[in-house]
Chains A and B, each alone.
Chain A
């Protein structure tokens, strides 16, 4: 026979577990460490572990997040391309980013500044699949920040084309 205190404690634990389970999906994700090779490193004004000051993701972690898919034309391809991946704002939410600007860095050290408002205003995606297939480094992989160009004529400008960074390796939140 459990005592009231014991029962309270059990209930409390259950509540805690539930909260942790339901609400903290993303938080859980944040606390999780990548098991595969790191594909994205996020640093800056985020909720990072004290020791490393960075949050790293592997492909599986990104794949586990809710995926968004749409098709658009781009200036780098003759044909239309279908992109799918997590929304950039979801990724930022996962690391509890509190800055106003992002510095996105590519594998060849190309850097570009992306305002956080872009991620909130548009369905900017961190694409990890192009036309259903994972993106090899030898094209634009592994990650490609893409704007839905066709969906909004405003985006069909040099400004946004510059921000659509491929071979993404890191995001610095400022």
Chain B
């Protein structure tokens, strides 16, 4: 397409050049011709043609006058010899003028001239001696005069020839002028045509330019519109995600919660086995759901990092510890090397980091049958930042080069055969890398088929002063063994049941509220040590309720309020904190989360 346009442009340019050349050439040629013709005319003028006609005419006249003077007494006139001599002399002078005269040159070619002149010369040769001697009455004159009568007629013819020649010359000049005019007309016409073509070309060009501009404008408008639409779609997606997130997590809360509690009851071995299986499936499903939501959030550009002060090696150790049991079961050696022991406090989004590490370690576990998994950590100081290199190396089945190329694409599966070793929709690594990018780092792989793989995670994190770690006191004044008065505000009966049972198991006293308004009432009437507030509730939602409770003042302004919600969108957290809540837990609520919440120093957890 571009080539065609380029070729077209060259064609137009070429044609234009050609036209210009033609115009210049014709102008040049015309000028040369004109100059030559003008030159010819000028030189002709220089030679100065005296009138050819008058030459011939005067000859004819003198011929007759000489005849008359020689007639003598016959005509009655008296002519003296002196007169005859004079007339003869003049006649000769007129004949002389016809010879060697540049003015008569054009007459030389005529038949009349070529016929007349020799005879005239011969007559003159015979007559001159007689005239010189003054013998005007010699009888030789008889024959001479007879001959002269005949010659006189030819002299008359010569005049006619002179006239013809002169006329022809005039015609030629007129013709020349006509030709010149025609030349000029043609040249002018060519010029005009060329000019018109130029104008047309210009007009076409302008039109093209205008069209291009219009197209550009239309494109801009379309783009602007597309942008607006895209933004609308994005907003729609975000809303959808928020809704789906909430809708899906709520029943999960029920499933997992119940299973967790069931697990704690007295069960037979068989029942325990069944519960464990169910729990395993539910947990896997939850993780897949979380992955899906994470991907959607990433695609919608909704995911924002929430870095906080964290002991990074500690997070790595946590991830490592999680797969210890499974690794041992598979007979794999598990080691951690490098800067993993000394605490390094940095600002990083810990849950997301954990997600990546879990992903890498799970994969390593999945694809390694024998040998071991090594996690190597290197922390490099870079001013007020720390550069991290975390390698997860395994001695597993490894990957081919092709596999490595498309590894990080979404929905990629390393082994799409029927015998599936691994499960999962293949989202993990794609998400992990996107998260790594969001954190300002990268996730890369190097692998040898049959020997093993090494996944390398690089990060750069701002160093956090240990003092900056908010060592806030536990929201709980009482030691963990003491029973707390907990207000649970949750509209869903199942979730209420779950929470209630969990808390009771932990030994706390629970009061329920079914919506924000009830929660407000309860808070006003009683003093609580902790309020667990669901965000999405009828009548009055959690945020408004929290604000209202805080507004009550006194003890209510201080009581820790923890937001519970299935909504994991970033804005939810900010809104919760703005409303006066202290912490944020996402549903489905795990028992461990609850336990973690209570005695630890307050760190915002998701």
- Given A76-B103, A137-B89, A138-B89, verify A158-B94 contact (CB < 8 Å): no
- A75's nearest neighbour on chain B, judged by CB, is B48
CB distance from B253 to the nearest CB of A (A): 122
- What chain A residues lie within 8 Å of B93 (beta carbons)? 137-140, 167
Chain A 71-93 residues near chain B, CB threshold 8 A: 75-78
- Given A75-B48, A108-B62, verify A137-B103 contact (CB < 8 Å): no
Q: Does B50 contact A (CB under 8 A)?
A: yes
Q: Does B270 contact A (CB under 8 A)?
A: no
CB distance from B385 to the nearest CB of A (A): 99
Report the interface size class on chain B.
20 to 34
- What chain A residues lie within 8 Å of B97 (beta carbons)? 76
Q: Does A136 contact B (CB under 8 A)?
A: yes
Q: B89 near A136 (CB under 8 angstroms)?
A: yes
Query: What CA separation (Å) do A139 and B97 show in the bound complex?
Result: 8
Interface string of B30-52 (1 = CB under 8 A from A): 00000000000000011111100
Report the interface size class on chain A.
10 to 19
Knowing that A75-B47, A137-B93, A139-B96 are A-B contacts, what are 14 other residue pairs whose CB atoms are under 8 Å apart, sorted by A's residue number?
Answer: A75-B48, A75-B49, A75-B102, A75-B103, A77-B102, A78-B102, A108-B62, A110-B58, A136-B89, A138-B89, A138-B93, A139-B93, A156-B46, A167-B90
- What chain A residues lie within 8 Å of B103 (beta carbons)? 75-76
Q: A76 near B58 (CB under 8 angstroms)?
A: no
Chain A 140-160 residues near chain B, CB threshold 8 A: 140, 156, 158
Secondary structure of the B side of the interface?
A: helix
- Which of A77, A107, A108, A139 has the largest number of chain B CB atoms within 10 A? A108
Within the complex, which residue of A78, A137, A140, A161 is in contact with B100, where a contact is CB–CB below 8 Å? A78
Chain A 108-155 residues near chain B, CB threshold 8 A: 108, 110, 136-140
CB distance from B81 to the nearest CB of A (A): 14
Q: Does B101 contact A (CB under 8 A)?
A: yes
- What chain A residues lie within 8 Å of B48 (beta carbons)? 75, 156, 158, 161
Chain B 77-95 residues near chain A, CB threshold 8 A: 86, 89-90, 92-94
- What chain B residues lie within 8 Å of A110 (beta carbons)? 58
CB distance from B600 to the nearest CB of A (A): 123
Q: 7 A-B Cβ contacts within 8 A?
A: A75-B50, A77-B101, A107-B86, A108-B65, A138-B92, A139-B96, A161-B48
Interface string of B130-173 (1 = CB under 8 A from A): 00000000000000000000000000000000000000000000
Q: Does B61 contact A (CB under 8 A)?
A: yes
Query: What CA separation (Å) do A138 and B124 show in the bound complex?
Result: 12
CB distance from B241 to the nearest CB of A (A): 104
CB distance from A161 to the nearest CB of B (A): 6
- A138's nearest neighbour on chain B, judged by CB, is B92
- What chain B residues lie within 8 Å of A138 (beta carbons)? 89, 92-93, 96
Query: What CA separation (Å) do A134 and B161 show in the bound complex?
Result: 34
Q: A137 near B49 (CB under 8 angstroms)?
A: no
CB distance from B455 to the nearest CB of A (A): 105
- What chain B residues lie within 8 Å of A136 (beta carbons)? 89
Query: What CA separation (Å) do A117 and B307 show in the bound complex?
Result: 118
Interface string of B47-74 (1 = CB under 8 A from A): 1111000000010011001000000000
Query: What CA separation (Å) do A137 and B101 show in the bound complex?
Result: 17
- What chain B residues lie within 8 Å of A140 (beta carbons)? 93
CB distance from A77 to the nearest CB of B (A): 7
